[in-house]
């Protein structure tokens, strides 16, 4: 186990992780918004992509104040590898179950970002940083809304896949 990060080192680490994961989200949405086999899911992902690109730029801008650049550490690296692997399988094999898995991993990444936003919000309040507070609140709301939309699409996709298996 590595040494515990405290103070500014912890804040930098949290920004690095949030930036790295947000980049993975943007990359995955860029691919799934054009290749996902379900049109409504494709539209939901495309809608999220616009906001997620904007949030990535905002995270990068705010992270600069803490010398964060999106350095990939253990958690972000593992999630990045999982997303890339499931996307690769989905796009090369093209099976519904493979796209379902990639969609599910994307949803988990977005839920991870909701947790990050909540942490950033508490840090911002503790440090009386209104700019970060406002950005974290907007980020959390956007991740929650897009997660809800993606979860609904994923559930619908599950029903579609299960229905085709009984035919």
Q: Where are the domains of the chain?
A: 7-165
Rounded Cα distance, 17 and 152, in Å: 27
pLDDT in tens, 28-51: 999 999 999 999 999 999 999 999
The predicted pLDDT at position 8 comes to: 87
Rounded Cα distance, 69 and 76, in Å: 13
Q: Is the pLDDT of residue 62 over 80?
A: yes
What single-letter DSSP state applies at residue 6? -
7-165 — its CATH code?
Answer: 1.20.1260.10
When comparing pLDDT for 42 and 8, which is higher?
Answer: 42
The predicted pLDDT at position 166 comes to: 57
DSSP 11-77: HHHHHHHHHHHHHHHHHHHHHHHHH-S-HHHHHHHHHHHHHHHHHHHHHHHHHHTTT------HHHH
pLDDT in tens, 91-130: 999 999 999 999 999 999 999 999 999 999 998 999 899 9
Task: Indicate the pTM of the whole model.
Answer: 0.92
The predicted pLDDT at position 37 comes to: 96
Whether the Cβ atoms of residue 86 and residue 109 lie closer than 8 Å to each other: no
Q: How many CB atoms lie within 10 A of CB 82?
A: 16
Q: Is the pLDDT of residue 167 over 60?
A: no
């Amino acid at each position: 186990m590595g040494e515990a990060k405290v103070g500014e080192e912890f804040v930098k680490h949290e920004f690095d992780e949030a930036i790295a994961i947000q980049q993975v989200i943007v990359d995955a949405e860029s691919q799934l918004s054009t290749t996902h086999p379900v049109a409504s899911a494709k539209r939901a992902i495309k809608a999220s992509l616009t906001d997620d690109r904007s949030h990535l730029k905002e995270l990068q801008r705010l992270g600069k104040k803490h010398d964060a650049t999106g350095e990939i550490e253990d958690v972000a690296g593992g999630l990045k590898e999982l997303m890339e692997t499931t996307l690769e399988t989905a796009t090369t094999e093209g099976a519904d179950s493979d796209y379902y898995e990639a969609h599910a991993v994307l949803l988990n990444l977005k839920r991870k970002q909701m947790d990050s936003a909540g942490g950033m919000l508490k840090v911002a309040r503790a440090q009386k940083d209104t700019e970060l507070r406002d950005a974290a609140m907007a980020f959390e709301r956007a991740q929650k809304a897009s997660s809800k939309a993606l979860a609904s699409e994923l559930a619908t996709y599950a029903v579609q896949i299960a229905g085709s298996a009984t035919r």
